[in-house]
């Protein structure tokens, strides 16, 4: 009987392990564009760990940030909604306290929830109604904005503390410690790790800088960025800038390798969903102009296409590449499906990616829309702050100074009423392989571009005059979506629950 019991246990153990809720770790970098990886063919940057993830897990060839700048994308990552729905229009604008986040969902699902690194959707201090704790995370070691070597972080809302060392490695060491605390409490792990790299200004460790010593001679043109010495603007040869930027990327890559090694040694890797993506395209001073059009801040593909990788050996048992157009807004619906949590009763822009993870879906069934909200008319109305400005004041210093300050404050405002003038601003919609872009000319007329992303991924051939009916359809679909977004912006979604 004893031997039979052992056989049954051996047969059942893998099934029981699979039935256990997966650990979930979502990593995102700061300004890391699609092309800046070895696996995507970059001529210089070295990313051996990301390359291995691409070779062994699920590689998204078309993973999109929901916006071409950081705070808005982060709001989408947390909520599954386009950032304009909650007034997170541009960097330095917070989300709203009523939003439901992945932290809230996974906390209800019994996970130990931890945020590490860049927050940038509100102040991280105690008392802020949108700090990571208020947004569902049990603990956090976070920064209001971006950070470099020897960063200052707030632990659970406390005053800033200096952490000596390379910032990506610091976050991963804290991640590993957090995993230990979750396991000691017998809870599954949920972590959001938002690196400060490779956002400018740049710095690197000697061994990483040495890998790119050949670049200063190759790229001599002058570019503008922040000075590490003064915190103000400066101009430097691009090759020197790239040397430091790529050193940051390589250090971040190595830190991710530390995490993967720990998961393996702790016996956690098989049932851990590990995701890596960027928050927007490559920043202008570092972009080399290939293979996509545009950079950070642009509505073109170069502004929103980012690296997208997922490992989950228990579910993704074989390497796979997908052309599915995924987005940061898809994370909340996907995690809700994985953990059995109900979706918030409000409009979502993301979709559940589980059919993609399981290899059952290759084309997105609904469009992805992007919109850079034009804030000038809103600000001209002198809108009421959504959150007490004192609670929006940041505390964690960074190198880059703004208005003489080394810290960052946040904004969000009540939206007075839907106005036809508020539909403007660079915007686009992707349905299938076609992408429509609308921008206002100085005359106020619309400039319309239509691209076939499959045939023309660099967005060089405008088809709007050749396919006017398709352009008109996509324009109408985009307008209909904008009306839904503006309705959310008024706060009406919050009264539904």
Per-residue pLDDT, 419:
85
Backbone torsions φ then ψ of 116, nearest 5 degrees = -135, 130
How far is Cα 269 from Cα 430, in angstroms, rounded to an integer? 35
What is the tens place of the pLDDT at every residue in 135-182?
999 999 999 999 999 999 999 999 999 999 999 999 999 999 999 999
Lowest pLDDT segment from 178-192, 229-243, 265-279, 410-424: 410-424
The CATH number that domain 371-384+417-496 falls under is 3.30.1120.10
Whether the pLDDT of residue 15 is over 70: the answer is: no
Whether the pLDDT of residue 71 is over 60: the answer is: yes
The predicted model gives 47-60 an average pLDDT of 98
Whether the pLDDT of residue 253 is over 90: the answer is: yes
How far is Cα 89 from Cα 87, in angstroms, rounded to an integer? 5
Extents of the domains making up the chain: 20-366, 371-384+417-496
Q: Which residue has the tokens 């601003």?
A: 425
Helix 238-265 with 167-184: angle, nearest 10 deg: 20
Measured between alpha carbons, how far is residue 159 from residues 123, 133, 156, 200 in Å? 12, 15, 9, 24
Which residues contact residue 443 at a Cβ distance below 8 angstroms, ignoring those fewer than 6 apart? none
Whether the pLDDT of residue 14 is over 80: the answer is: no
The answer to whether the beta carbons of residues 102 and 111 sit under 8 Å apart is no
Q: How many helices (H) and strands (E) does the chain have?
A: 13, 17
The confidence band for 493, taking pLDDT boundaries of 50, 70 and 90, is very high
What is the tens place of the pLDDT at every residue in 120-138?
999 999 999 999 999 999 9
The confidence band for 495, taking pLDDT boundaries of 50, 70 and 90, is confident
The confidence band for 496, taking pLDDT boundaries of 50, 70 and 90, is low
- H-helix or E-strand containing 4? helix 2-19
Q: Which residue has the tokens 């396991």?
A: 183
Q: How far is CA 380 from the centre of its chain?
A: 30
The answer to whether the beta carbons of residues 411 and 124 sit under 8 Å apart is no
Please state, rounded to an integer, the average pLDDT across all residues of the chain.
95
Other beta carbons within 10 Å of 443: 7
CATH of 20-366 among 3.30.559.10, 3.20.20.70, 3.40.720.10, 3.40.50.300: 3.40.720.10
Other beta carbons within 10 Å of 109: 19
Per-residue pLDDT, 9:
41
Whether the pLDDT of residue 12 is over 60: the answer is: no
Whether the pLDDT of residue 5 is over 70: the answer is: no
Q: How far is CA 4 from the centre of its chain?
A: 50
- SS3 for 150-211 is CCEEEECCCCCEECCCCHHHHHHHHHHHHHHHHHHCCCCEEEEEECCCCCCCCCCCHHHHHH
What is the tens place of the pLDDT at every residue in 180-238?
999 999 999 999 999 999 999 999 999 999 999 999 999 999 999 999 999 999 999 99
> What is the dihedral angle through the alpha carbons of 102, 104, 105, 111, rounded to the nearest 10 degrees?
100
What is the tens place of the pLDDT at every residue in 19-29?
799 999 999 99
Per-residue pLDDT, 420:
82
How far is Cα 139 from Cα 114, in angstroms, rounded to an integer? 5
379-382's contacts with Cβ under 8 Å and 24+ in sequence apart are 381/416
How far is Cα 438 from Cα 447, in angstroms, rounded to an integer? 6
The Cα angle at residue 465 between residues 463 and 469, in degrees rounded to 5: 90
Whether the pLDDT of residue 421 is over 90: the answer is: no
Higher pLDDT, 18 or 290: 290
Whether the pLDDT of residue 76 is over 50: the answer is: yes
For β-strands 320-327 and 368-371, DSSP reports them as: unpaired
What proportion of the chain, given as a percentage, has pLDDT over 90? 93
The answer to whether the beta carbons of residues 334 and 354 sit under 8 Å apart is yes
Tokens standing for residue 451: 């691209």
Whether the pLDDT of residue 13 is over 70: the answer is: no
Whether the pLDDT of residue 3 is over 50: the answer is: no
The predicted model gives 272-277 an average pLDDT of 98
The confidence band for 468, taking pLDDT boundaries of 50, 70 and 90, is very high
């Amino acid at each position: 009987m004893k031997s039979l019991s052992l056989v049954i246990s051996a047969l059942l153990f893998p099934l029981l392990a699979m039935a256990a809720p997966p650990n979930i770790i979502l990593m995102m970098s700061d300004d890391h564009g699609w092309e800046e990886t070895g696996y995507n063919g970059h001529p210089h940057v070295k990313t051996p760990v990301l390359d291995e993830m691409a070779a062994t897990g699920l590689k998204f060839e078309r993973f999109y940030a929901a916006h071409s700048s950081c705070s808005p994308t982060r709001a989408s990552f947390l909520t599954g909604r386009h950032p304009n729905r909650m007034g997170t229009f541009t960097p330095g604008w917070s989300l709203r306290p009523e939003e439901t986040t992945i932290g809230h969902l996974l906390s209800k699902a019994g996970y130990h929830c931890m945020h590490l690194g860049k927050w940038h959707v509100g102040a991280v201090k105690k008392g802020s109604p949108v700090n990571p704790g208020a947004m569902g995370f049990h603990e956090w070691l976070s920064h209001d904005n971006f950070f470099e070597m020897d960063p200052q972080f707030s632990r659970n809302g406390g005053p800033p503390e200096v952490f000596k060392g390379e910032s990506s490695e610091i976050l991963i060491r804290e991640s590993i410690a957090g995993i230990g605390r979750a396991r000691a409490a017998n809870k599954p792990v949920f972590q959001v790790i938002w690196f400060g790299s490779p956002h400018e200004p740049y710095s690197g460790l000697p061994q990483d800088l040495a890998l790119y010593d050949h670049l200063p001679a190759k790229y001599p043109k002058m570019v503008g960025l922040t000075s590490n010495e003064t915190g103000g603007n400066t101009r430097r040869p691009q090759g020197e800038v790239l040397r430091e930027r790529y050193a940051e990327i390589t250090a971040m890559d190595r830190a991710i390798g530390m995490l993967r090694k720990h998961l393996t040694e702790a016996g956690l890797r098989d049932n851990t969903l590990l995701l890596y993506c960027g928050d927007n395209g490559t920043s202008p001073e570092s972009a080399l102009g290939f293979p996509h059009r545009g950079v950070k801040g642009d509505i073109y593909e170069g502004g929103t296409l980012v690296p997208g990788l997922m490992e989950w050996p228990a579910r993704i048992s074989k390497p796979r590449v997908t052309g599915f157009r995924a987005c940061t807004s898809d994370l909340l619906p996907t995690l809700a499906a994985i953990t059995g949590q109900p979706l918030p009763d409000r409009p979502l822009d993301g979709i559940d990616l589980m059919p993609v993870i399981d290899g059952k879906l290759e084309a997105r069934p609904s469009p992805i829309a992007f919109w850079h909200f034009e804030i000038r008319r809103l600000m001209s109305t002198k809108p009421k702050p959504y959150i007490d400005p004192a609670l929006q004041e940041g505390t964690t210093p960074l190198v880059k100074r703004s208005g003489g300050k080394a810290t960052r404050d946040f904004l969000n405002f009540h939206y007075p009423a839907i106005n036809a003038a508020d539909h403007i601003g660079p915007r686009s919609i992707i349905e299938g392989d076609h992408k429509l872009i609308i921008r206002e000319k100085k005359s106020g007329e619309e400039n319309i571009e239509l691209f076939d992303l499959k045939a023309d991924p660099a967005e060089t051939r405008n088809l709007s005059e050749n396919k006017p009916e398709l352009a008109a359809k996509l324009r109408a679909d985009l307008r209909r979506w904008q009306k839904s977004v503006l309705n959310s912006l008024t706060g009406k979604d919050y009264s539904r629950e």
